[in-house]
Amino acid sequence: MKDKIKIGIIICDRYHTCAGGKCLRALRNREGAFSIYSKDDELELVGYTTCDGCPGGNIEYAPEEMIKNGAQVIHLATGLVVGYPPCPRITYFCDFIKARYGIKVVIGTHPIPQKYYDMHKMLGTWDSSKWEEIIQPTLTDEKTRLSYN
């Protein structure tokens, strides 16, 4: 029997015109941070919005609307991790949503594209144990990263 898991996605506002193609592809293919779900589970996207720009005013309200639509998990999109600079509030957003709404929060959606991986490696952006942990769910292998360029 398939479990139905309802998901909300919050993206970085600097990508507010994003159509969600990489996130939806990863959701469908169970890649990146969506690899935590079984292929047997039915995943349903019940909300997709931005953080509303720095400092993330929509983080206070958007999860509530997603939960009203049945969200059981909120994913903070990969754009918050790979942007230049990455979101300095991402762990705060994660902690706040968990504490305020009691819902599971996952950092990441689609795999990190190779071009972002290479640039952040060169910049040393993720050279800390904190960032190594944050990027882990979306790191994947080089072949997959290249397919998301």
Give me the sheet containing 104-107, strands edge to edge. Answer: 42-50, 4-11, 73-76, 104-107
Cα distance from N-terminal residue to C-terminal residue, the chain: 35
Q: Domains in the chain, ordered, with CATH? A: 4-147 (3.40.50)
pLDDT confidence of residue 1: 55
Query: Under a CB-based contact definition with an 8 Å cutoff, are residues 138 and 33 in contact?
Result: yes
Q: What is the mean pLDDT of residues 5-23?
A: 96
β-strands 4-11, 42-50: how paired? Answer: parallel
At residue 141, the pLDDT reads 96
Could you report the per-residue pLDDT of 59-77, keeping only the tens digit for each? 999 999 999 999 999 999 9
Beta-carbon contacts of 70 under 8 Å, excluding residues fewer than 6 positions away, are 6, 44, 46
State the pLDDT at residue 104.
98
| pLDDT score recorded for residue 2 | 74
According to the model, what pLDDT value does residue 66 have? 98
